Chain A
Amino acid sequence: MPELPNTFKGAAHVYERAHINTDEIIPARHLNVHEEAELAKYAMEDIDTGFIKRVKTGDFIIAGENFGCGSSREHAVWALRGAGIRVVVATSYARIFFRNAINNGFLAIECPEAIEMVKTGDEVEIDIQAGKLRNLTTGKEAGFVPLSDFARELIEDGGLLPHIQKKAAKA
C-alpha cells in the first residue's frame, strides 16, 4: 500500500451552513446508479448548481456542523470523490457519513475554525500528521485533532475492504 501523503492542497468550496445532508450532496433521484463519474454530475446540485462547473480535482469542501446527516447513502462520498474532492473539512460530521468516508479511504477532517477562516476560492493546505490547516491565500492557520489511529489505519490501507483483506492475509 502506498503511504498516505501528509499534506493535501486544493481550492476550497465553502458551505457555511450546518446539517448539509446527503439528500443535498446527492439527491435520491440519482441513486439508481452508483458509478462515481455518473454521480459526480449531480453532486450538490440542489444547493449549489455552480459547484460541478467550478470544482477541480484535489479541491476541498469546507462546511459547518453535522455534515452528511440523513440517509446512509455512500453515494454521497462517491459523488464528491467523483467530482474531484479529496478532503472534506467540517465542524463536525454525522456518523454514517464519517464511517463511509474513512471506509473509502476518503479524508474527513474535523476543524471548527475552518469555516471562519476560509472563503470559497481560497487555496488551503492540510497537514494530517501535524493536525494543521493553512489558508495559503490569507496565511491564517488553525489546528485540528489528528485522525484517530484506527481511522488513519483504515485510510492508509485504502479503506475498510482492503484493510480486512490485509488482516485476513496476515492471519
Chain B
Amino acid sequence: MGMTITEKILAAHSGRESIVPGEIVNAKLDLIVCHDVTTPPAVAMLRKLGINKVFDPTKILVTPDHFVPNKDIKSAKLSKHLREWREEQGIERYYEIGNHGICHAIAPEQGHVLPGMTIVCGDSHTTTMGALGTFASGVGSTDLAAALATGELWFKVPESMLFELNGHLPVGVYSKDIILYIISKIGVDGARYKAMEYRGTALKDLTMEARFTITNMAIEAGGKSGIMPVDEISENYVKERTSDSYTIFNSDDDATYSDRFTIDVDQLEPIVALPSLPSNGRFIGEIERVKMDQVYIGSCTNGRIEDLRIAAQIMKGHKVAKGTRTIVVPATTEVWKTAMREGLLEIFADAGCVVSTATCGACLGGFMGVLGAEETCLSTTNRNFTGRMGDPRSKVYLASPATAAATAITGTITDPRDFLKAQAAKA
C-alpha cells in the first residue's frame, strides 16, 4: 500500500519500513526549536529530574522571540534562563537580540530546515516548516523536555488530508487568502489530528515565503502538520542557505487520504476572517467596511520580506488614516535589514506606520500594540480568538498584508485591488 510523504518521513525516523495512521511510533528528531516562553519550563522539568545534558546540542536551535526585547521583569527572567541554559549546553545555533527572529521564520531563513526532517518546537505554528517537505509539529513543554533529553518523541501517525491547489491566483489575492479560505470551509477543527498536504499547479506560482503562510496556519484548522512536496522552488531556497545534504520524500500515487479537496485558486478573492475564529473567513465584498483602530502587519504568518514588499507597494505615497495606528513588525532581523536596504522601512515610516524590531509582540497580546477594550484591529497574524491581542472585548480581523495595507490607508476594511487597479492604471 502506498504511503503519504508524512507517513514516509515518520517511518524513516522510527526505523520502520511502513506505518499506517493511528499507530504510535517513537520518531527520532532532526531539529528542536526553542523559544523564550515554552523552553524555560521544559528546562526546569529536566533539572528537577536531574537530567543536565541535552541529547545533542547541534540539533537544537534557540531564539528568544515572544517577549523580546524583554517587555517586563518576568520576561527578562525567562530570556535570561534561556540564554544561560544554551550557554551551559553549548548550543551554537543561537540568535541573540540583534540577530533574532520569530522561531518559525528564522529557522528556515537561516538554513536550518532541510527537506525530509522531523522538527518539533514548543509552539503550535511549528507546522510552518512543513512547506519545505518536512514533518514539523507543535508540542508542549513536557514533550519539548522529553525531546531535548532523548532526541525522540512519540507520535500517533496522522491521517493525511490532500488539498489540491490549481490555477493562478488573481491580482490582489495571496496565499493568506488561500489558507483563510480553506479554514473557512473545513472549520477550526476540520483537520484535527491530521496532516494537511498540499499539491497542485498553483504551488508553482508561490514563493517559499508565500508557502510558509499556508503551512503556518495548519494548526488553525486543528492540523498536526502542514506539508508540501519538494520542488525546484524549495530546493533553490534550501541550497541558497546551506550545503548540508537531505533526503526528499514524496507521496505515492496510491497513498491513502482521509479527505481530498480541490481548490481552483482563480476563483478566490481577498478574504477577511471576522472575530473571533480564524474560520470566520468571508470574501471581502460580502462584509461591512468596519472601522479599524489598528492595523498590524507581521508575525510568523506574514512578517516575511515578500509580505512587507506587498504592503509597501500599496502604501507607497499614501498616509495611514487618522485614527488607524499601523504597526509593522518584520519577522526576523534579516527581514528588517532587507526591508531597510530596499527602502521599505522608509515607505512605512513616511506613511505614518510604526516599525518594530522582530518580535511576536502583539500577535499574542504581549506588547508593542496590545488592544484596549472595544478596539478593532485588522491583523496579518493567524488567530483572532477572544483576547488574543489584548482586552477580551477587543476584536481582531485576519487578512493578507495587502488587505492590511489598503485598510491602513482608508481606516476601514478595504479591498487591496482598489489600490492595485489604480496603480496599474497610472503605470
Contact = CB atoms under 8 A, between A and B. Distances in A.
A116 interface: no
Contacts of A46: 386-387, 392
Given A32-B74, A46-B392, A72-B124, A100 B140 contact: yes
A47 B146 CA distance: 32
Contact of A96 (B24, B49, B124, B154): B124
A94 B392 CA distance: 22
Contact of B365 (A29, A66, A72, A150): A29
A160 to B, nearest CB: 5
A27 interface: yes
Q: Which 7 A-B pairs have the closest CB atoms?
A: A74-B140, A32-B74, A100-B140, A28-B364, A103-B142, A66-B189, A46-B392
Contacts of A129: none
A24 B224 CA distance: 21
Contacts of A65: 189
Interface residues of B, number: 50
Interface string A85-105: 000000010111001100110
Contact of A103 (B37, B67, B143): B143
B192 A96 contact: no
B94 interface: no
Given A19-B189, A161-B146, A24 B123 contact: no
B262 interface: no
A74 B78 contact: no
B65 to A, nearest CB: 13
Nearest to A18: B189
A47 B387 CA distance: 9
Interface in B66-98: 66-67, 71-72, 74-75, 77-78
B330 interface: no
B142 A104 contact: yes
A169 to B, nearest CB: 12
Contact of B192 (A21, A75, A92): A92
A39 B10 CA distance: 35
B190 to A, nearest CB: 10
Given A23-B388, A31-B37, A96-B140, A150 B383 contact: no
Contact of A165 (B49, B66, B219, B385): B49
A126 to B, nearest CB: 23
B189 A69 contact: yes
Contacts of A71: 123-124, 364, 383
Given A69-B222, A71-B123, A104-B142, 4 more contacts: A27-B365, A32-B71, A46-B392, A160-B154
Nearest to A21: B385
Given A74-B38, A95-B193, A19 B142 contact: no
Interface string A142-171: 000000001000000001110011000000
Contacts of A33: 74
A131 interface: no
B45 interface: yes
A159 to B, nearest CB: 6
Interface in B105-138: 122-124, 126, 138
A74 B140 CA distance: 5
B141 interface: yes
Given A69-B188, A73-B140, A31 B386 contact: no
B277 interface: yes
Given A23-B388, A160-B142, A73 B37 contact: yes
Given A92-B189, A104-B142, A74 B364 contact: no
B139 interface: yes
Interface string B141-154: 11101100110001
A48 to B, nearest CB: 11
A18 B44 CA distance: 33
B143 A34 contact: no
A58 interface: no
Nearest to B67: A32
Contact of A94 (B150, B222, B370): B222
Contacts of A72: 38, 122-124, 126, 138-140
B275 interface: no
A77 B66 CA distance: 20
B40 interface: yes
A34 B40 contact: yes
A33 B78 CA distance: 8
Given A32-B74, A165-B49, A74 B388 contact: no
A159 B49 contact: no
B139 A47 contact: no
A92 B193 CA distance: 11
Contacts of B139: 72, 96, 99
Contact of A164 (B141, B146, B219, B224): B146
| Among A47, A66, A103, residue most surrounded by chain B Cβ atoms (within 10 Å) | A103
